[in-house]
Amino acid sequence: MTDSSQTDQAFFQFDSNRALLSTNLPFPKRSGKVRDVYDLGNSLMIVSTDRISAFDYILPSGIPEKGRLLTGMSEYWFQLLGVRHHLISTAIPPSFESQFDIEPLRGRVMFTEKASVVPFECVVRGYLEGSGLREYQATGEICGNRLPEQLVQCDKLPDPIFTPATKAEEGHDENVSLDRMIQDLGPNLAEKLKSLSLRIYQTACDHASSRGILIADTKFEFGIVDEEVVLIDEVLTPDSSRFWSAEQYQPGQAQRSFDKQFVREWLSQCGWDMNSDPPELPDEIIEQTAAKYREAFERLAGS
Ligand SMILES: Nc1ncnc2c1ncn2[C@@H]1O[C@H](COP(=O)(O)OP(=O)(O)OP(=O)(O)O)[C@@H](O)[C@H]1O
Ligand SMILES: [Mg+2]
């Protein structure tokens, strides 16, 4: 293939399935597991690559078009939720065209307001799974929310609960109580983030349930711009949420994850020790996973 020149290859790196693995654009960059975030001075450019992580590792194979589906989903939700958010535009400035091939960025990029990030992950849970389940099994509560006895894995909670976590620089985020958040942020901001998070979750659940999807839990991030609270980061994507199929939902056991199930199952039985560089995924696992991301997008956003 000769569609990328030498220079383009330096700006964008693809794998053999044309999944975008990394970007290297001429602006200050920091990379998360999935996204490359560029500081443009007054705004940020957040590029969702096609990288996928599982068991806390970035896999060497990407999922073609995943970045576009996740960006499209965040954009869809930002428009639907009716709260102040950081997204300015997904249109690529004409000035970029003279600098590099903009095609790989199309649909993968969000230009956003630059916020001062609130250092808590605002998690809302409607169902019992993951770190919430583990905390409940050990203590009967999650982040200070007392729950009924005898709930089973993946049970629906009587009401959605707010279970904030600190944003750990390294390793796993730590669940904390609302009181801890109040100590750090003050009661006004902490209570506001709680009620906003619960309200957004409810709006999203109502929408998703009409499309046959349960949002078991999700993580929001907020920032402050001009002294106002702004919803930032990605929102209500399969990477920040647990989506389950409503049809197949069955409490008392783990649910099939909407998106990463094939990847996790294959990685668990391929002989990888989960403690070293992960292996490349077989093509059929990549294709099945890409189809799941497409399905999530199409079911939620409708096209
Ligand atoms: N509007 C914004 N203003 C400032 N920072 C933002 C804004 N939106 C998102 N961010 C920050 O940009 C980063 C997005 O990067 P990303 O989520 O890919 O990496 P990460 O959180 O460091 O790692 P991980 O891959 O584990 O999530 C986060 O640190 C997030 O808090
Ligand atoms: Mg993140």
Report the atom number in ligand 1 closest to the C-alpha of 36: 18
The pLDDT of residue 9 is 54
51 lines ligand 1 (CB under 6 A): no
Name the residue with the closest Cα to ligand 1, atom 9.
233
The pLDDT of residue 5 is 46
* Residue 233 CA, ligand 1 centroid: distance in Å: 6
Query: Which residues does the chain have with pLDDT short of 70?
Result: 1-9, 171, 303
The pLDDT of residue 3 is 45
Which of 37, 52, 55 has the most ligand 1 atoms within 8 A of CB, as the residue to mutate? 37
Strands 12-14 and 228-232: unpaired
The pLDDT of residue 131 is 94
* Residue 32 CA, ligand 1 centroid: distance in Å: 7
The pLDDT of residue 303 is 62
The pLDDT of residue 147 is 98
What does R_g of the chain's alpha carbons equal in angstroms? 20
Of the candidates 158, 222, 219, the residue with the CA atom closest to the CA atom of residue 190: 222
**Angstrom distance (rounded) from CA 150 to CA 269:** 32
**Angstrom distance (rounded) from CA 21 to CA 44:** 20
Say what angle helices 261-269 and 283-301 make with each other, to 10 degrees.
160
**Structural domains in the chain plus CATH codes:** 1-113+262-303 (3.30.200.20), 116-258 (3.30.470.20)
Whole-structure pTM over 0.85, yes or no? Answer: yes
Helices (H), the chain: 6-11, 66-81, 130-139, 178-185, 187-209, 261-269, 283-301
DSSP bridge partners of 13:
22
Burial 216-232, CB ≥16 within 10 A → b, else e? bbbbbbbbeeeeebbbb
Give the CA distances from residue 128 to residues 44, 125, 220, in Å, rounded to whole numbers and listed in that order.
35, 7, 18
User: Taking the CB of residue 98, how many other CB atoms lie within 10 A of it?
Assistant: 7
34 lines ligand 1 (CB under 6 A): yes
Half-sphere exposure of 259 (CA within 13 A, CB side): 23
225 lines ligand 1 (CB under 6 A): no
Are 41 and 48 a contacting pair, CB within 8 Å? no
Residue 17 in tokens: 């399935």
User: What is the number of the ligand closest to the CA of 223?
Assistant: 1
64 lines ligand 1 (CB under 6 A): no
* Residue 220 CA, ligand 2 centroid: distance in Å: 10
**Angstrom distance (rounded) from CA 193 to CA 114:** 18
Say what angle helices 66-81 and 187-209 make with each other, to 10 degrees.
110
Report the atom number in ligand 1 closest to the C-alpha of 114: 3
* Residue 148 CA, ligand 2 centroid: distance in Å: 31
The pLDDT of residue 257 is 86
Name the residue with the closest Cα to ligand 1, atom 22.
32
The pLDDT of residue 302 is 81
